[in-house]
Structure 1
Amino acid sequence: MIKDLEQNLKSHKIKPTAMRLLVLEYLLDREIAVSLTDLYKNFVKSDRTTIYRTLKAFEDNGLVHSIDDGTGVPKYALCSDACDVGEHDDAHIHFHCDKCGKTYCLPKFRIPGFELPEKFSKSEVNLMVKGNCADCAN
């Protein structure tokens, strides 16, 4: 397991450290996007700066992408295999549950391509759907 985590980091040109391995393992065990605070609560012996730098290194190297779910707190989720250094392929729908507050990536539901008027250029595309998740709908 540790070797797989190390190889995952190395394939994204990220030096494996103890904290990076722990954060990657934590993210792999989650179905939902997590915030810096979520991680900090689970790694009480670490400081926020180290965790933030870990997330930033992951994001810069195409391992995670950040999600603006409208709460004012960025969430982070693992990228697909198509992401790479500086290039994220996260044009999928994100879902935020109004009831429990969880944010999900829905990678099977792609954002369709579109053209902007001539004088506009896009830097990011984000589609956030809000409602109740399957657990809260019951």
Structure 2
Amino acid sequence: MLQKLDNILLEKEIKPTAMRLLVLDFLLSQQTAVSLSDLEAAFYRSDRITLYRTLKTFEEKGLVHSIMDGTGSVKYAICEEGCECAPEDMHVHFFCNKCQETICLPKSRIPKIPLPDNFKQEEINLVIKGTCGNCS
């Protein structure tokens, strides 16, 4: 398993450190997006700054994407294989009002939105809010 994690990081040109391997393993085991606070709870002896920098490195290298789900806390989820996390590859997210979980919906793509001339798209975020299947 450790070799698989190493390979995932190396494919994204991320140096595999002990903390990066632990965070990657944790993220891969999650069914929902996680916040920095979630990571802190899972790694309570780890430094918040180190965890934050790990997430930002993963995001910059296209290993995770960030989600603004309206809770005031940025959440992170592993990118699908082959996803470049570019706007044309972005998908919809679902936020459950009951359990407060954020779930990626990778089969529901955000459509390309035509913008006026001289407008430059920098990010897209589409979050559907409601009740998930587990809470229904």
Q: TM-score higher than 0.5 here?
A: yes
- Tell me the TM-score range normalised by the shorter chain: over 0.9
CA distance in 2, matches of 1:98, 1:112: 25
* Residue aligning to 2:33: 33
Per-residue CA deviations over 1:43-75 (Å, capped at 9, x if unaligned) read 011110110010011001000010000011000
Per-residue CA deviations over 1:6-54 (Å, capped at 9, x if unaligned) read 0000000000011100100000001100000000001011110110010
> RMSD of aligned C-alpha atoms?
1.3
* Residue aligning to 1:51: 51
**Identical residues among aligned pairs (%):** 55
Q: When the two structures are aligned, how many residues end up with a matched partner?
A: 135
Letter in 2 for 1:18: A
CA distance in 1, matches of 2:43, 2:110: 34
Tell me, yes or no, if structure 1 residue 78 matches structure 2 residue 78.
Answer: yes
Question: Is the partner of 2:134 in helix, strand or coil?
Answer: helix
Question: Is the partner of 1:19 in helix, strand or coil?
Answer: helix
* Residue aligning to 1:99: 98
TM-score under structure 1 length normalisation: 0.93
Letter in 2 for 1:23: V
CA contact (8 A) 1:82 1:88 kept: no
Give the one of 85, 88, 92 matched to 2:86: 88
* Residue aligning to 2:124: 125
Per-residue CA deviations over 1:85-108 (Å, capped at 9, x if unaligned) read xx5365100000001100001101
CA distance in 2, matches of 1:88, 1:22: 26
Letter in 2 for 1:88: A
* Residue aligning to 1:6: 6
Letter in 1 for 2:112: G
CA distance in 2, matches of 1:19, 1:88: 26
